[in-house]
Structure 1
């Protein structure tokens, strides 16, 4: 499969690129002109663009691809609400091609609290981060709305707190919901799930919760 990856220099996107190459896929990594990207592989193409602001500049990176995976989004409060803007540009570029499969990462607080969740999650963790990062989660909510309105065969993965722990391939998921008592997940395992959805038709036009 040929996969185009946006946000390839980020924590999740970098794992997506690495794992996809290890699995035998051909990968096109889209990065900014000024970004440092040291990964090299015979099946890896690198496309440099000034920024994710012009859909026309992204179209060449999508040619021949079977799927698009996006790890773009804010890396902290200082970057502000950028997920909607960047994702809209990607969706516009996809609309000008024959690519239809699209997988993006969001965040667990965008979803509802699942049945059976813990008191800590319901009363402490989710309310705290929901208030502290209100603007970022509002941005991700709008991003998800834009994705769901698109003509793509989309999947949105919603992780809770992200960690830098190594890939395990062992985690819980919930289709259309958050994982009860799910507190954390590594970026590597989040990338693993995003790639796994490409071969799972049941995940099309669905959100997926993930956690240990």
Structure 2
């Protein structure tokens, strides 16, 4: 399949691109800065350079895609301003409609509930800490995911709490708070592998599974 990846040069995004290539998919990577594009991709990845506010770049990246994968996440710096990813997500969804792309896979934290979940101590704590210490980022995350869940596309939102730069284990717990036992720590490599696996798996269609190691 043809997969477009946003946030492709980030820590999880780059690993996700590699996983998709290993699975034999054709990948287009949207990158804010060409200098951050891994040299190892060579000609295997089509790269589109542009800010998330650049509608023309987004349209170019999504043109021809079967699935959109987003590894975008809020800037956690206290110097960050505005809600750029809310606007960017709107551009992505508009472009998906324009190009007839109906499948979206993205990321969030347990502060976002799955539509069939009820709040638990773990989700309440994540939401409280986010709103208390990272209020702008928290609003941006909610603004992104609210749009996606209301868009009418086929989405999957993968939630995780504490990503680590540890080796890929291939062992991931996936489920929902209140019914499944989900921990906190998870390797970025395992997040990437799980994300890539959703491209051809509809188990979590219109659901927001939480994952951990």
Per mean C-alpha deviation after superposition, the further-off stretch among 171-180 and 2-11 is 171-180
1:175 to partner: Cα distance? 4.8
Distance 2:48 2:62 in 1: 10
TM-score (norm 2): 0.85
Distance 1:166 1:26 in 2: 25
1:85 to partner: Cα distance? 2.2
- Give RMSD over aligned pairs: 2.5
The 3 A distance-change label for structure 1 pair 113 and 25 is: same
Q: Is the contact made by 1:55 and 1:92 (CA closer than 8 Å) also made in structure 2? A: no
Distance 2:131 2:181 in 1: 17
Distance 2:143 2:179 in 1: 18
1:24 to partner: Cα distance? 1.4
1:54 to partner: Cα distance? 3.2
Gaps of 5+ in 2: none
Gaps of 5+ in 1: none
Distance 1:125 1:145 in 2: 17
Q: Is the contact made by 2:176 and 2:182 (CA closer than 8 Å) also made in structure 1? A: no
The 3 A distance-change label for structure 1 pair 56 and 152 is: farther
1:62 to partner: Cα distance? 1.7
Matched residue pairs, number?
A: 207
Partner of 2:67: 67
Partner of 1:87: 89
Partner of 1:200: 201
Partner of 1:162: 163
The 3 A distance-change label for structure 1 pair 139 and 179 is: farther
Per mean C-alpha deviation after superposition, the further-off stretch among 62-71 and 82-91 is 82-91
Distance 1:58 1:178 in 2: 38
TM-score (norm 1): 0.85
The 3 A distance-change label for structure 1 pair 177 and 186 is: farther
What's the secondary structure of 1:16's corresponding residue?
helix
Distance 2:2 2:178 in 1: 29
